[in-house]
A = this chain, B = another copy of it.
Amino acid sequence: MTAHLPHTLRSDARDNRARILDSARAVFAEEGLAAPVRQVARHAGVGPATLYRHFPTKRDLIAATFAEQQRACRAVIREAVADPDPWHGFRSLIEGICELHAHSRGFADAFMASFPEAVDFDADREQSLRAASELARRAQEAGRLRPGFVVDDLILVLMAHRGVQDMPPDTRLAASRRFAAYMIDAFRATP
């Protein structure tokens, strides 16, 4: 049995951990998960060893870094599904996820598991997809979403959207929104 260590970190350790997570969010958001761990450490004003003590592997760091974004993503999906107008919900879902991904390349990378070593978002993704599928079905029944749409198309959008993130940083957000708008247009049913 593992003797459980004290749940209270020393003040400096707690401070450093917080700064590391903030830095990880900033660095990974800007440069994606390809950014070196040392750069996160430098950004946090901390030695590499300190970072590795708090997060033994890069995977752990990524998981901790994007736990919040993951919650936000779940919230977006929950709200979209709860929308009384399924087509409006569907649009909100696409716009919302794209917005989240646009604000952090790293989160988009982790979510799409484009990095094989990235954190395991599979369970979440599976569940989200199921919910989205339900929403899409209702939107189709309402005659607003084109009948040909399948859930895999949502993955298609997300994969494609990840490619948009490789544009120059100052145009990323606008490009992301424009892309989302086009895709929604493509998914709209033609009466």
Contacts and interface: CB of A to CB of B under 8 A. Distances in A.
Given A159-B164, A164-B160, A166-B114, A182 B186 contact: yes
A183 interface: yes
Contacts of A163: 159-166
Interface string A150-166: 00010110011111111
Nearest to A149: B182
Interface in A160-191: 160-167, 175, 178-179, 182-183, 185-187
Copies per assembly: 2
Nearest to A113: B166
Contacts of A161: 160, 163
Given A155-B167, A161-B163, A163-B165, 17 more contacts: A112-B166, A114-B166, A156-B164, A156-B175, A156-B182, A159-B166, A159-B167, A160-B161, A160-B179, A162-B163, A163-B163, A163-B164, A163-B166, A182-B183, A182-B186, A185-B185, A186-B186
